[in-house]
Amino acid sequence: MVIIALAIGLGLAALVTVFYNRLVGLRNRGENAWSDIDVQLRRRHELVPNLVETVKGYAAHEKRTFQEVTEARTRAMQPGGAAARAAAEGDLSRTITALFAVAESYPQLRANENFVALQRQLSELEEAIQNARRYYNAVVRDFNTACETFPGNIFAGAFGFQRRDFFGLDSPEERTPPKVSFGG
């Protein structure tokens, strides 16, 4: 009887260990994935002032657009959870799109090597952000599933693991990346 009780106790301890370690691993992968997104977003935030200054040189009278981009960038740089950051980044994407719409009116700007290089960098960053976001959301999906399904939900609750937010976009308009045109 003691052997059976010991075997059951060891089995339960092994089960708890396996589920706890899985949740910790998923949480850590999620934090790492969020860090990847944050790095890409910071790179984009650093690129935006260069874009604004380049366009300003050709379209100085578009002050409202420049101000909106600058304000959106400032909001996007504020710390926050995935949902708040996604909303702020969506606003920044919309204002960057407006900035490129201004640039479309200036053929000499579209031909400027610096502007073309900045457009190319932004396009590459947007793709890197989307890849990082997809990975993060996949990890969050796995983590949330592990926290919400039986028996993982018992262990998640007991050890204080909580559901994470996806890094998503709020509206269908935000689901398309800013249009970046390399031609004239």
Q: What is the pLDDT of residues 8-61, one digit of tens each?
A: 999 999 999 999 999 999 999 999 999 999 999 999 999 999 999 999 888 888
pLDDT at 72 over 70: yes
Domain count, the chain: 1
**Does residue 18 sit within a domain?**
no
Q: Which tens digits make up the pLDDT trace of 140-173?
A: 999 999 999 998 999 999 999 999 999 986 544 4
CA gap 58, 118 in Å, rounded: 15
CA gap 12, 183 in Å, rounded: 64
CA gap 129, 10 in Å, rounded: 44
**Does residue 43 sit within a domain?**
yes
Domain hosting 85: range is 23-168
**Does residue 50 sit within a domain?**
yes
Q: Which tens digits make up the pLDDT trace of 113-131?
A: 889 999 999 999 999 999 9
The closest alpha carbon to 130, from 177, 76, 67, belongs to 177
**Does residue 17 sit within a domain?**
no
**Does residue 1 sit within a domain?**
no
pLDDT at 183 over 70: no
What is the structure's pLDDT at 168? 83
Give the torsion sign (CA, 13, 15, 20, 21). positive
